[in-house]
Amino acid sequence: MKNILAIDTSTEACSVALVMDSDVIERFEIARQRHTELVLPMIDSVLEEAGISIASIDVLAFGRGPGSFTGIRIGTGVVQGIALGAGLPVAPVSSLAAIAQGIYRTGGDKKVIAAIDARMQEIYWGCFQLDKKSYMQATQAEVVAKPEFLPLPAGDNWFAAGTAWSAYENELNILTKEKVKEYDGGCLPHAQDIAILACDVIEKDQLISADCVEPVYLRNEIAWKKQNQ
């Protein structure tokens, strides 16, 4: 098992986790525009608790999005800077997949629809199912769309999680009907689940170099410019 340092700033939560073998050290806080202030001290804190330096890290992992435009940019910049300085490979992980992995970690559900409020009356949407190695895998492409245009997964008995399930409760209940057995509208990505999914990236030999680190917005930049006007 490699030493993995993971961060996620893709939503209103800011979290950092250090995973070494079976040991997990995590910091998690609802940041609400304080990610820049919190993320580097959180990194220092988990390294200090573990008694190691960045030189002992083997892989960096981060929530690549989708999520908050500003938050994803912060996470991407921090990881890219550390990776360049320390010469470390990077594991990019879907923020939606991290939500799904967290649901399995805490409740054991193996089929999860993860959905984040994307504002502008749209939703970031991903459907995931547990594989034989206990990693959540996408069953269809992640999308951003208005509730009525979201693609439904096959089958039923899905657990649903993420902020969109509280922001668009009525619309999503109508859309999913009998497919969803239960939902939690308060779930946010945790860095320790980013680290778990980074192990899958490592096993598949899909690590990338610092200069290839890029965020995934699902929306194009034009949409974001319109939102900010």
Q: Beta strands 111-117 and 158-161: pairing type? A: parallel
Mean pLDDT over all residues of the chain?
A: 94
Spatial separation of the C-alpha atoms in residues 132 and 134, rounded to whole Å: 6
What is the arithmetic mean of pLDDT over 172-201?
96
Quote the pLDDT of residue 220.
66
Return the amino acid letter for 127.
C
* pTM to 2 decimal places: 0.94
Q: At what angle do helices 191-203 and 95-107 cross, to 10 degrees?
A: 110
Pairing of strands 123-130, 143-145: antiparallel
Superfamily per CATH, domain 96-184: ATPase, nucleotide binding domain (3.30.420.40)
Q: What is the CATH code of the structural domain delimited by 4-94+189-224?
A: 3.30.420.40
Residue of 105, 100, 140, 130 whose CA lies nearest to 116: 100
Calculate the dihedral angle through the C-alpha atoms of 180, 184, 188, 190, rounding to the nearest 10 degrees.
Answer: -90
Domain range summary for the chain, segments of one domain joined by +: 4-94+189-224, 96-184
pLDDT at 6 over 50: yes
